[in-house]
Structure formats: structure tokens, C-alpha cells
Structure 1
């Protein structure tokens, strides 16, 4: 399944696979998002797979949120790859 991003107000549904081949779609969708939105909610329930490029794109979005003092929430169970990445980052700290 390709990457699908839909939104309603500030709730974005992320479905499919987020990887090196389509991370540019994700980045384009959220380019300067915090110039238009004060808060952003990403629902990753439909995310079936993510590689390190996708994780990096989410981390960049998070960093932008912190820099601009905006709110970012990531909700949904998503895929295990994402949780394993953050779990390993937490253990390394």
C-alpha cells in the first residue's frame, strides 16, 4: 500500500508505508505546517511500515514543533517499527 495522508482540520491520518521512496510526499505535506497550524495531530493507526527515513521525517517534524513552540501529538498504535525505534533511543539515553 502506498502512503496516504488525509486531513480534517488539524487531524492528519497517515496510512500505508512511509519509506525512502515516498518520504518526500510526507515532507511536502508538512512543509511549514506550523506556520499555518498551532497544533497538529498525526494518527498513525493505519501506518503499516516505516523505515529509518520515515522515522527521521517524523523526528524532523517533532524538532520543528519544538523550535516553533507548537503542539504535536502522535496517536494510534501504528506499526511496531516506529515504537521499536523510539524504545531503542530511550534505552540509549
Structure 2
């Protein structure tokens, strides 16, 4: 499965694979999200794989929420690739 993003109110569900070839879809979906919403919940439970471009897109979304003083919650176990990235970042610090 490629990337599928669905939402209801402020809950967004990301399904499939987030990679260089489709990261533009993710960025487009969330480009102005904080103009309309004060809080966003991102469910990554069904995200099966993510590459560094996908991780960067999530980090950019996080930075945007901080800059605009909006709430961003990422929920779900998601894929191991994402947790391994943040685990390695933690160990490098």
C-alpha cells in the first residue's frame, strides 16, 4: 500500500508507506493545517514504513506546530523505522 491520509475533524490517520516518492502528498495535506486547527492528532498506527524524507516531513510538521504555538500529538505504535530514527537521535545527543 502506498500512502493514504484520511481525517475527521482534527484526527488524521496515516496509512501505508511514507517515502521520498510520496512525501509531497503528506506535505500538501498538512501545509496549512495549523491555520484552521489549534490541535492536530496524527495517528501513525497504520504507517508500515517510513524513510528519512518521511521522518523529516514529520519533524517539519512538529516544528511548524511549535512555531505557531499549536498542539500536535502523534499517536499509535507506527512502524519501527520511525522509532529507530528517534532512538538513534537520542543516543547521538
Settle same-fold status: TM greater than 0.5: yes
Q: Tell me how far 1:11 sits from its aligned partner.
A: 0.3
Q: Matches of 2:64 and 2:19 in 1, distance apart?
A: 20
The residue aligned with 1:69 is 69
- Write out the 4+ residue segments of structure 1 that deviate beyond 3 Å after TM superposition: none
Q: Take 1:90 and 1:68, find their aligned partners in 2: how far apart are those partners?
A: 25
TM-score (normalizing by structure 1): 0.98
Describe the superposition over 1:24-56 as per-residue Cα deviations: whole angstroms up to 9, x where unpaired: 000000002111110000000000000000000
Q: Give the TM-score normalised by the residue count of structure 2.
A: 0.98
Matched residue, 2:3: 3
The size of the alignment, in residue pairs, is 93
1:32 is aligned to: 32
Structure 1: give runs of 5+ residues left out of the alignment. Answer: none
CA–CA separation in structure 1 for the residues paired with 2:65 and 2:92: 23
Runs of 5+ unmatched residues, structure 2: none
RMSD (CA atoms):
0.4
